[in-house]
Amino acid sequence: MAGIVIAVVAVLALGICACLGAASVLLERYASEPVAEDPYHDGYDEQDSWTPAAPSQPTPATTPSGGPGRYPVSYEVTGTGRGDIQYYDANGDFIRLESVRLPWREKIRTDDPNRVIVIATGDGDGALSCTARIGDRAPVTQVGEPGREVTCQPS
């Protein structure tokens, strides 16, 4: 009896395999495109035609809100010769200027008084001083030693 059950199961399995094979042959014959698509093909055969934009004048910095800032800020670096200066602009971006003729001054308006700092390093042997001021608050001033960096950051 066990032999008959095994034979019936084997015949059914072979029949199912034969039906699946015949169905795949028939379906493949009527398929107009391959089943698997190229995963790297985006469907466009056009070449990119990128052209760089014409150079334009840089726009002046505005505050993050796009309007006038609530806090007027003034930066000043004094000394002789030239120096490298770093500071936060009205947008809160850290700006680096190299070999700037001294004395140097900048006035901005910002909405973030926590992003007010000026750092200066002299190119020569002379001493530098810096001043940073927010609105009517007392200015922060530092006088450096020759060849040393000065930092002014109001709190």
Mean pLDDT by 10 residues, the chain (155 residues): 84 82 68 56 58 59 62 94 93 92 94 93 89 95 92 92
Nearest to 121 by CA among 89, 88, 99, 106: 99
Q: What 8-state DSSP symbol labels residue 6?
A: H
Q: Give me the pLDDT at residue 59, please.
A: 54
Q: Give me the pLDDT at residue 12, please.
A: 85
Map out the domains of the chain as residue ranges: 1-29, 71-152
Q: Give me the pLDDT at residue 29, please.
A: 62
Q: Give me the pLDDT at residue 146, please.
A: 86
Q: Give me the pLDDT at residue 126, please.
A: 85
Whether this model's pTM surpasses 0.85? no
Domain 71-152, CATH 1.10.3720.10 — does that match?
A: no
DSSP 51-90: -PPPP-PPPPP--TTSS--SEEEEEEEE-SSEEEEEEE-T
**Which amino acid does the sequence have at 70?**
R
Q: Give me the pLDDT at residue 52, please.
A: 62
